């Protein structure tokens, strides 16, 4: 199994990287570009098949280290 985790900056937090990418896309001529947010993608290989147990552990790990709840949100899937 694998956990696929996406960490993104919270909406209220300044995201200069997102803004910079947004500007670049607009300068390149892409029409209709809205706000861009740059985050992180983590892929973690998991042993065994106990999806529910991993769901709890990954959620805890996301909260404790993989994201910083002060500035980031996360979501993940396990499959």
Partner 1 sequence: MNFAVLQFPASNCDQDALHVLKNVLGQSARFVWHKENSLTDIDAVVIPGGFSYGDYLRTGAIARFSPIMEAVRAFAANGGPVLGICNGFQILCEAGLLAGALIRNRSLQFRCEHVFIKTGNPNSPFTNRSPPGKILRVPIAHGEGCYFADEPTLERLKSNGQILWQYSDASGQLTESSNPNGSLWNIAGICNEAGNVAGLMPHPERASEDILGSADGRLIFESLIFWLEHKMAGAA
The residues of the shown chain that bind partner 1, judged by CB under 8 A, are: 9, 12-14, 16-17, 20, 65-66, 68, 70-71
**DSSP-assigned beta bridge partners for residue 65:** none
In the complex with partner 1, the residue whose CB is nearer, 27 or 79, is: 27
In the complex with partner 1, the residue whose CB is nearer, 51 or 69, is: 69
Least Cβ distance, residue 20 to partner 1 (angstroms): 6
In the complex with partner 1, the residue whose CB is nearer, 18 or 46, is: 18
User: Rounded distance, CA 51 to CA 28, Å?
Assistant: 43
Least Cβ distance, residue 14 to partner 1 (angstroms): 6
Burial bucket for residue 25 (CB in 10 Å: 0-12, 13-18, 19+): middle
Region of 32 (left: φ > 0; alpha: ψ -120 to 50; beta: rest) is: left
């Amino acid at each position: 199994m694998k956990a696929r985790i996406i960490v993104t900056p919270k909406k209220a937090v300044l995201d200069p990287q997102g803004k910079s990418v947004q500007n670049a896309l607009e300068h390149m001529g892409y029409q209709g570009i809205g706000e861009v947010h740059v985050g992180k993608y983590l892929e973690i290989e998991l042993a065994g098949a106990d999806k529910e147990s991993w769901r709890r552990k990954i959620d805890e790990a996301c909260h404790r280290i993989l994201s910083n709840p002060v500035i980031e949100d996360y979501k993940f899937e396990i499959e």
